[in-house]
Structure 1
Amino acid sequence: MTVVQQYEEIAAYLRSSIREGELVPGDPLPSEAELCRRFESARGTVRQAIALLRSEGLISSGQGRRSRVLDHRPTQSFDDIFSFTQWCLTAGITPGQQTQWVTRKPADPRLAAHLEIPDGAQVVSVFRLRLMDGQAAMIERLNYPFEFGRHLLSFDTDSGSIYQHLLDCGVDIDTATRTIDAVPAEAEDAALLQVPAGAPLLRVRRRAFTTGGTPIEYSDDRYLHTKASFTINSTRNSPTALSMISS
């Protein structure tokens, strides 16, 4: 069983206050002294919680003053691999999913290239609508070489995290690369997300690899731009694993 550290509890409380509109962009956070009293915690613990929210892009740095709310949308760190379920739980959001289909099929040339398998090789593909607190948030298209995806054919994909299930089955998931851009909602996605066709979506295309560098997944996730944003933290004179590429 996962033990929640007190700083995570404090951070979850502040995230919830921001998400529910109790704290809006521009508002100062409660003072360190107030948070210490509320949670009966040490000042260092409160500062750890605030540092976590700052790293997520939700609040300002403060710089000698009380930090202020910058954004109300959940953020996902580039350091996370790709568990939507875990991201939601960390943000105090109840994740959900509505599977549209799971199928075994031959890979077309484009998908085969992404997975580095022969054209026509068998893959397992999953198409799901992902929910945040019961509301539509993201369209998820997942594709796996059959060697790995076979674990999903007997798995209830409405029951929870595919990522966690694959790990539980002993699948080696080590690294991931992501390409992020914006696309208009196609008719099928628009209907599921309950937005007009052509509405802007944040698209995240991901390739995941085993420790040995074998491609294990190619996915195409499309988020409502009102539901998510991405953050990356950079340090001067230190390389950052983020690239801008032309389409």
Structure 2
Amino acid sequence: MSAEASDLPLYRSIAADLQTAIERGDFAGGATMPSENELTARYGVSRGTIRQAFAFLRSTGVVSSRRGARRQIQGGPRVQSMTELVSFSRWARSVGEVPSSRTLNARVVPAPALVAEKLGVTEGANVFHTERVRLLGDAPTLIESTYYPEALATLIEAIDLDTQSITDRLGDHGIVFASAEHAIDAVAATPREAELLGLEPGAPLLRTIRRTTDPAGAVLECSIDLSPGESIAFVVRNSLAAGGTSRVSSRSEQ
């Protein structure tokens, strides 16, 4: 970390660096943070600066502390950064979880209107659809409904969808998921979705509609993911210099 180059106060730069490490999965929820002495040596600053950084993290609910005990990372949803494009499986392993899937569907279907728009095909055109419940350990965490161009069907049909990552296996064939656009909103769980996730019908879900392209800009997938709010939280970092985030009416995604 180059804290000196930041416009933030030094303790805030250190706090941001530690929070990034937590979000990346370097520490599990409930784990203890490095000691003040360790962090003083790591960052080359005084104990007072490290204490200020911890105080800031405590004020934002990232860590907790008790007198005479090491600071602990607060438990809660697994955090996924929106600044890095990684598969569910790779992200799960990065936060110390064992990912798996339960495949519900894998077949060619007519493209619904929203999917057709995202994939750049005509409505009703053939696309390949996979629907999986993604699990962390034994806990259902995400319903993943993904549509691919029909040209990828043969490659995806050869993948063990319950144990393997589609993104990683397509990468073995030189198909690279390079860039993604995400639209995120809140919806109520249908009876089927609630049953799959072990929730009550009507429970709030976080819906992410993702359109992913390869390095040349060709569309590779449109995925509609549903997750309980207590399972996964997304973190977005922005600044005055970067204008990539916009607000749109959720009605345009229906």
Q: TM-score range by the shorter chain?
A: 0.7 to 0.9
Residue number among 238, 241, 248 corresponding to 1:238 in the alignment: 241
Q: CA deviation at 1:120?
A: 3.2
Q: Secondary structure of the equivalent of 1:111?
A: helix
Task: For 1:129, give the aligned amino acid.
Answer: V
Matched, 1:219 2:223: yes
Q: Secondary structure of the equivalent of 2:127?
A: strand
Matched, 1:135 2:134: no
| 1:11-69 superposed Cα distances (whole Å, 9 cap, x missing partner) | 85631534xxxx6xxxxx44233689xxxxx6259x9xx99xx8xx9836xxxxx9774
Residue number among 7, 10, 17 corresponding to 2:30 in the alignment: 17
Q: From the superposition, tell whether residues 140 and 122 of structure 1 become closer, same or farther in structure 2 (CA, over 3 Å).
A: same
Residue number among 89, 99, 107 corresponding to 2:103 in the alignment: 99
Q: Is the 8 A contact 1:32 1:43 kept in 2?
A: no
Q: Partners of 1:108 and 1:73 in 2: how far apart?
A: 32
Q: Is the 8 A contact 1:58 1:71 kept in 2?
A: no
Q: CA deviation at 1:215?
A: 1.5
Superposition pairs of residues 164-183 of structure 1, within 5 angstroms: 164-183=168-187
Q: Is the 8 A contact 2:204 2:229 kept in 1?
A: yes
* TM-score for both structures, normalised by structure 1: 0.75
Superposition pairs of residues 21-32 of structure 1, within 5 angstroms: 29-32=33-36
Task: For 1:111, give the aligned amino acid.
Answer: V
Give the CA RMSD over aligned residues: 3.1
| 1:147-182 superposed Cα distances (whole Å, 9 cap, x missing partner) | 123311121101121111111122132210000010
| Structure 1 residues without counterparts, runs of 5 or longer | 1-7, 24-28, 37-41, 61-65
Q: Is the 8 A contact 1:124 1:150 kept in 2?
A: no
Identity %: 29
Q: Secondary structure of the equivalent of 1:15?
A: coil
Q: From the superposition, tell whether residues 195 and 59 of structure 1 become closer, same or farther in structure 2 (CA, over 3 Å).
A: same
* TM-score for both structures, normalised by structure 2: 0.73
Matched, 1:43 2:22: no
Superposition pairs of residues 55-70 of structure 1, within 5 angstroms: 59=62, 69=73
Q: Is the 8 A contact 1:58 1:72 kept in 2?
A: no
Q: From the superposition, tell whether residues 119 and 12 of structure 1 become closer, same or farther in structure 2 (CA, over 3 Å).
A: closer
Q: Partners of 1:149 and 1:72 in 2: how far apart?
A: 37
Q: Is the 8 A contact 2:30 2:72 kept in 1?
A: no
Q: From the superposition, tell whether residues 203 and 110 of structure 1 become closer, same or farther in structure 2 (CA, over 3 Å).
A: closer
Task: For 1:189, give the aligned amino acid.
Answer: E
Superposition pairs of residues 82-121 of structure 1, within 5 angstroms: 82-121=86-125
Task: For 1:162, give the aligned amino acid.
Answer: I
Q: Secondary structure of the equivalent of 1:178?
A: strand
Q: Is the 8 A contact 1:129 1:136 kept in 2?
A: yes
| 1:51-97 superposed Cα distances (whole Å, 9 cap, x missing partner) | 9xx8xx9836xxxxx97745532111111224111111111111111
